[in-house]
Structure 1
Amino acid sequence: MLSWIDGAPADSLSIKDRGLAYGDGFFETMRIKAGAPLLFERHLQRLALGGKRLALALDLPLIESECRAFAAQMGEGVMKLIVTRGDGQRGYAPSSGLQARRILQASPLPAYPSANADQGIRLFPCRTRLAEQPLLAGLKHLNRLEQVIARNEWHDTGHAEGLMRDTTGRLVEAVYSNLFLIKSGVLLTPDLTRCGVAGVMRAQLLEMAEQINMPVRALDLHMSDLRRADEVFVCNSVYGIWPVRAFEQLNWPVGPVTRKLQNLVRGLLDI
């Protein structure tokens, strides 16, 4: 597997790395097409936000240059960029002057069934709840234990994703995707100022919807909203959009709004 650390080919990491010790960092997962990272500007924007929130100094031009060179070597697949605070000593307080570590990993595209996009998926009702932490809300930080636990709740092939809520019961996201509902022609998505990952595909869809004059709202959503939804779908920057056809006893059609957005995204990702 192709991998770089700090711009050079490598496949091992210092045991002093603060990403390993404390989850002190964040990551981006990007689809690579024809040697280029898709939605790259949005990934860089979220990266910059993560650096600001964690007070982690980033050399963004260097990161961009390394990512583009790595993607060119990959050609096709999925590129994962992990940024940590670098090596440190024991204790939570980071030493001054640490240089952020850049880790790049290449993987093939996941072999998702075509039926996920064509016919829709069933969501699993995850028991694991997301804790609120506004400082980290929206970021793809390295502590993904909630998602690890949630994904371990189901092992059957009948569920392609799992629905996650926060500790008050509000809808937040799926385990590795963002959630959208359509009600009376309005595109709805959960507010992510308390917890959850603000995905780059989510941001892209909100912008695209506004460009085609589709009303959009990010707000607190509950199970009652899910029950009243006309259409439901999930999305991320690797697979695009999957319609949701079922959740427990609820069922939805693969509706026209979902199909319209799905076709726009397919053109964007060339899938």
Structure 2
Amino acid sequence: HKTMNYAPFVLARRRARAQGLDDALLLDREGQILETATAAVVLARNGRFAAPASALRLPSLALEAAREVLDIPAQPMRLEDLAAADHVYVCNSLMGMRPVAAIGERVFPLDEKTCALVTRAIREE
């Protein structure tokens, strides 16, 4: 993330890890999804991809690279949208794109093929 104040992200991730979770999903005050503490969020539903739309979301070079190989429009996104998704992914410049296995009790099938395609694009940036 390109910001000078990492503290909220570090604290959110620490809290998540203390609860046995991999990362923290960050929301704005209206409950719109922004990102995780360490990565951009992408979901797929019915063969279509989307990423959260918010002026509060930090820019993501990895998400921009993903948009070079997949049509990933930005749209307002709430927790219900993730629950209804077929697949959920996270991406950043260090790890590439990874599938999300579960959010709370909701388990997602892992889409390694899409992740490999996007990770190649991120690495080439």
Q: TM-score range by the shorter chain?
A: 0.7 to 0.9
Residue aligning to 1:164: 26
Letter in 2 for 1:264: L
Query: Once the two structures are superposed, what CA deviation does each residue of 1:125-149 show, in whole Å capped at 9, x if it has no partner?
Result: xxxxxxxxxxxxxxx2202222122
1:202 aligns with 2:63: yes
CA separation in 1, counterparts of 2:16 and 2:113? Answer: 31
Question: Secondary structure at the residue paired with 2:15?
Answer: coil
Query: Which residue is equivalent to 2:96?
Result: 240
- The Cα shift of 1:209 comes to 0.8
SS at the partner of 2:68? helix
Structure 2 vs 1, CA of residues 243 and 157 (structure 1 numbering), >3 Å: closer, same or farther?
A: farther
Structure 2 match to 1:221 = 77
Distance 1:162 1:180 in 2: 15
Asked whether the 8 Å contact 2:99–2:110 carries over to 1, the reply is yes
Gaps of 5+ in 2: none
Q: What is the letter of the counterpart of residue 165 of structure 1? A: L
Of the structure 1 ranges 171-180 and 157-166, higher mean CA displacement relative to structure 2 is found in 157-166
Q: Which runs of 5+ in 1 are unaligned?
A: 1-27, 29-139, 211-215
> Could you tell me the TM-score, scaled by structure 2's length?
0.87
Q: Which position in structure 2 is the counterpart of 1:264? A: 117
Q: How many residues align?
A: 123
Q: How far is 1:217 from its partner? A: 1.8
CA distance in 2, matches of 1:254, 1:141: 31
1:152 positional shift:
2.4
Equivalences for 1:77-116 in 2 at 5 Å? none
Q: Which amino acid aligns with 2:118?
A: V
Question: Partner of 1:146: helix, strand, or coil?
Answer: helix
Change (3 A) 1:155 1:161: closer
If you compute each CA radius of gyration, which structure gives the higher value, 1 or 2? 1
RMSD: 2.0
Shift of 1:260: 2.9
Aligned partners of 1:186 and 1:217 also within 8 Å: no
Counterpart of 1:235, as a letter, is C
State whether residues 192 and 198 of structure 1, in contact with CA within 8 Å, keep that contact through their aligned partners in structure 2: no
Residue pair 1:233, 1:244 contacting (<8 A) in 2 also: yes
Q: 1:204 to 1:267 in 2, by over 3 A?
A: closer
Measure how far apart 1:196 and its partner are.
1.8
Displacement after TM superposition at 1:159 (Å): 2.2
Matching of residues 133-144 of structure 1 within 5 Å: 140-144=2-6
The residue type paired with residue 120 of structure 2 is: G
Tell me the secondary structure at the aligned position of residue 204 of structure 1: helix
**Distance in 2 between the 1:192 and 1:168 partners?**
11
More contact order relative to length (CA 8 Å, sep ≥ 6): 2
In the alignment, which residue of structure 2 is the partner of 1:104? Answer: none
